[in-house]
Amino acid sequence: MTHEKYRGCIEACVACAQECERCGDACIGQPQMAECVRTCRDCAELCWTCSGFMSRGSTLAAEVCRACAEACDRCAAECAEHEAEHCKRCAEACRRCAEECRKVAA
């Protein structure tokens, strides 16, 4: 089953999207967190999109996962530079999601 094949990656994307939405919102308005707001938004959007492509078994799922993995890498790198608890959680979720997306993209 297509859906089954992607289960781990869908779960990682959904978890990552939620952390990114939360972290990105928390960082708004803080000058030193500007890039974090941007990477979180991009990452969240691709994670939600990616979840949809995998859920319906799209033949483009691998392609979208590739872009999503890239977004996750950038967001993880950005969040890892900050001390806030939401940044740490977000970085961790991004790393897991990047890993899962790379498996699908391979």
- Verify binding: residue 85, a second copy, rule CB under 8 A: no
Alpha-carbon torsion 41, 63, 103, 5, what sign?
Answer: positive
Q: Which of 50, 55, 59, 36 has the alpha carbon at shortest distance from 100?
A: 50
Write the binding mask 11 to 50 for a second copy: x where contact by CB under 8 A, - elsewhere: ---x--xx--xx-xx--xxxxxxx--xx--xx-xxx-xx-
Alpha carbon distance 92, 26 (integer Å): 17
- Which residues are at the interface with a second copy (CB under 8 A)? 3, 10, 14, 17-18, 21-22, 24-25, 28-34, 37-38, 41-42, 44-46, 48-49, 51-53, 55-60, 63-64, 66-67, 70-71, 74
